[in-house]
């Protein structure tokens, strides 16, 4: 039987979920705004 997760482990899981959500949002933002961003970069 598995030990219940510690507070530290729970915090790490929460952080990973938040980071993944943030990366997904940034990726979607970059994808939808790629044309405008490319004109700024060039």
Q: How far apart are CA 11 and CA 5, in angstroms?
A: 10
Q: Are 14 and 7 in contact (CB under 8 A)?
A: no
Instruction: Quote the pLDDT of residue 33.
Output: 82
Assessment of whether the complete model's pTM goes beyond 0.85: no
Q: What is the mean pLDDT of residues 1-26?
A: 85
Query: Over the stretch 15-29, which tens digit does the pLDDT of each residue have?
Result: 888 999 999 999 998
Cα 15 from chain centre: 9
Helices and strands (H and E) in the chain: how many: 2, 0
């Amino acid at each position: 039987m598995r030990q219940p997760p510690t507070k530290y482990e729970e915090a790490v899981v929460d952080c990973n979920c938040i980071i993944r959500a943030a990366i997904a949002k940034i990726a979607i933002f970059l994808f939808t705004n790629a044309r405008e961003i490319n004109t700024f970069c060039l």
